[in-house]
Structure formats: structure tokens, C-alpha cells
Structure 1
């Protein structure tokens, strides 16, 4: 799949405003979303969803519909479902949390860090206890990141989402940092989801590249889940 050059900041801002309008139109006019009480704003192609929903199914539908819009790179939601606020982990967060109220975990202290842990040795969290996990510019620093992905699968609830951001291998940011030991492409995400020997398989909700960064929203695949067909995967991968 051809990857475009990274859009200029001015164009990104204009496109965000257009996507804001499209999201408002969906929420106003799609009767399937009438039970959602949410706000959607876009920042550099990432949809940020906040508010409340009566059911996980309604939130999943909104995520799917937003992900179909052209120019959307990822959908990040922090939505209370049936009155329960989500549990969100931010791995390798350093000083900056991706969302207020997230639990930051890193190997050294920082302003956003709530717990110190060596992520290469696992995530110190109970199984199936987390709704969302952020790994923003983390995986490229790990020589073997597959065990960490397995740990994310373990701690996520069945309808949880893992958000991945990593520098695209053809952009200078991928090679400019000497601590980067792995390289990413949308096809890397495809290979992660197609691992035949994986004890903890993943299914893509969304994957994209903006010419500088690879984005992926992944959900834990469970026994009996429908397998995405070639037409669905062709939206994201070669």
C-alpha cells in the first residue's frame, strides 16, 4: 500500500476541522448512535472520543464508523460505559500521559509515572482488568517487543483496545534516534495480526501511516472470533 508524505501542519489542522464536522454529522443523524452522549474532536487525524455510552456495542459501532472516514489514523476513546469509567494504561509514558487519568508505567520516574516496572519483564497488572493500553513510541525501543504485546493481550478485557504508535521506517525519525532498535511499517502490524504461532493473537480495528508514524488500534482475538476477511484487511495492508 502506497504511503503518502506526511501532511503539512496547516493542512492537518484544516482536515481535522473537516473530520470534526463529519463526526458531528454522524452523531446527529445516525439513529444507531442516539444513545451515545459523547464528544468527538480530531487532532492530527486521531479521533479523541469522550463522554458516556449505555453499552460497549454502541461505543464499538461509533469507533467503527469513525474509522471509516478518510484521513483518520486512529480512534482513541475515554468513554464511561454503563456508568463505569475505563481503566487505561500508558506504557513507557515518561512525563506525558496520552489521556488524563491514565495509569502511567515506566522503568524510571517521571511526572506521568504511577508505577515503576521493567516492561520487558511483564506488566504488573491483573489479567483482563484493563480497557485501553497506549504504547506510544515504545515498541521501537525493545529488541523483542512480542512478549510485551502478549502481556498487553493478557491484561486487556475481551473488548479492550491496544493503541500503537511507532515511527515509520522510511522517515528520518526512525533512524535519527540511536535507541531505536526495531522498525515499523503497516505491514509489520499485518504480520503481528497474522502470526500463526501466537498464543495471544490480535485483530486490527484500524491501521494507518501518515508518512512519519505508523498507527494501529488492535483488539485481543479470542477463540471463536470472526477472522477479518481479505476485503477488510485490504483497507490497511498490502
Structure 2
């Protein structure tokens, strides 16, 4: 029997889905999310809208407090084909503060605070994220690190800084090229290879909990929350193992 390499996941896609399939699946997932909001009594009255783009849920609207929002995130994340859950939801009337690290020329959303070492039209704060984040402790609701970690020889200090600036209930969204896809090695500025199993060890070494993690055959996605966050799900050790078995060996 042929041996599988360490970290191999049986169900890892061999290639990304086609654009046509992604568009059709996004339509299906958007309708499934509408059904959740319409028929799950635990979500009754939530003034939010959920749409999908490339398998990533985009949640917008307003909630009175974060508990139903976290439940909605969990339920959406259970749907097959969901790679990540991103939200821009006002909580008790307050707009979220979102940092977009290494944003380059384009932020993930125009309302984000763009951070990059090179000044561009998208950059609001010029800073080298590998040298620390120029933001107050507990000042950010969400942090996006999209195609950032693979450029850093050591990204654990950055993850510690992200933990520091996230307020209670805050989340980190990570995207990185999957190590088996050509995008991971085509860019000579990439110095790290990322797999879904890498996310597992990021959680262990940097004290994050994976709310969601996945790979579409080209990109690794992860939604992470600091361990010990009192706003996070109250899992015991057994249930946490059950939850994480969806993503990690």
C-alpha cells in the first residue's frame, strides 16, 4: 500500500472548483443560509443578510449582542462547501473596527483599515506588520491576514500582536496559498508553505481556536478566535475534539 505523506488529508480537493461550479454553489449556500434564518427559532429576528462569494459567507446587518451572531456563524459553518464566515455586523449600533493587514492595492472591504509597508491608495496606516501593530490593545473587532503569513519567515510574533489588538469576541481571518498549488511556489517572495494542518499548529502554538478551517484546492482558509475569550463558544475538551475533527487529522 502506498504511504500518504504526513499531513495528508483524504478529502483535500486536488484542484479548485471551476468558476461555474463556484457560482452555482454560492447560489445554493445563499439559499441555505436564508432557510436557516427563516426557520431556526434560535435565529429569529436577526436583522442580517448572508451571501456567498467563492464559498465564503458574507454576513451584514445588525444585532443587539454577539451571542446570536456567534451561533449564526457556527450554523453557517456547518454547511457543506463553506470555506470561511466573514461578517461586517453592527453590534448594539456600533460599526466593527476591521484591520486589513498587508492589504496592498486592494482591501477586502472599503471600510477596512488598510495596513501595509508600502503606501498605496488602499493603505490607511503604513507599517511593517512583522515588527508589531500600531494599534491599541483590544481595539479591533476583526483582523484580516490575507496572503500575509506565507511572506513572513516567522509569523508567530504577528499572531501574538493580533491576539493583543483583538477585543473580546474578536476574530482573525487567514487566507494563504495551499502548499500543493502552484500559487504557493510561483511567487519568489513566499517563504512559508501553508496547509490546513498548519492552522492546527498555529492554534496550538499561538493560542487560537479554529472556528472554521478549510481548503478549496488552491487556498487555505481559517477563522480563528483567541483561546480563553469569554465571548467564544463554551466547549469542554471532548466537544472541542469533536468540533476540530471536521478540519484536522
Tell me the TM-score normalised to structure 2 length.
0.91
Report the count of equivalent residues.
234
SS in 2 for 1:78: strand
Specify the SS of the correspondent of 1:194.
helix
Aligned to 2:219: 213
SS in 2 for 1:191: helix
1:164-193 deviation per Cα after TM superposition (whole angstroms, max 9, x unaligned): 000000000000000000000000000111
Divergent runs of 4+, >6 A? none
Deviations along 1:132-158, one digit per CA (max 9) or x if unpaired, are: 000000110011111001100000012
Q: Report the secondary structure of 1:90's partner residue.
A: strand
Q: CA deviation at 1:229?
A: 2.5
**Residues 165 and 80 of structure 1: CA distance in aligned 2, closer, same or farther (over 3 Å):** same
Instruction: Tell me the secondary structure at the aligned position of residue 60 of structure 2.
Output: strand
Question: Which secondary structure state, in structure 1, belongs to the residue aligned with residue 153 of structure 2?
Answer: coil
Question: Does residue 1:24 correspond to 2:30, yes or no?
Answer: no
1:18-57 residue CA offsets vs partner (Å, 9 max, x unmatched): 0011001011111111231011100010000111011100
Q: Give the structure 2 partner of residue 202 of structure 1.
A: 208
Maintained 8 Å contact 2:62/2:89: yes
Shift of 1:100: 2.3
Structure 2: distance between partners of 1:194 and 1:122: 21
Counterpart-to-counterpart distance in 2, 1:52 and 1:135: 24
Question: Contact 1:35–1:53 at 8 Å: present in 2 too?
Answer: no
Distance 1:171 1:81 in 2: 38
Does 1:131 pair with 2:141? yes
Could you tell me how far 1:223 is from its partner in structure 2?
Answer: 7.3
**Residue 42 of structure 1: aligned partner:** 52
Name the counterpart of 2:3. none
- Note the 1:125-164 alignment, pairs <5 A: 125-164=135-174
Q: Any stretches of 5+ residues in structure 2 without a counterpart? A: 1-8
Q: 1:223 to 1:211 in 2, by over 3 A?
A: closer
TM-score (structure 1 length as normaliser): 0.95
Q: Does 1:170 align with 2:180?
A: yes
Gaps of 5+ in 1: none
Tell me what 1:232 maps to: 243
1:194 and 1:36 map into 2 onto residues whose CA distance is: 34
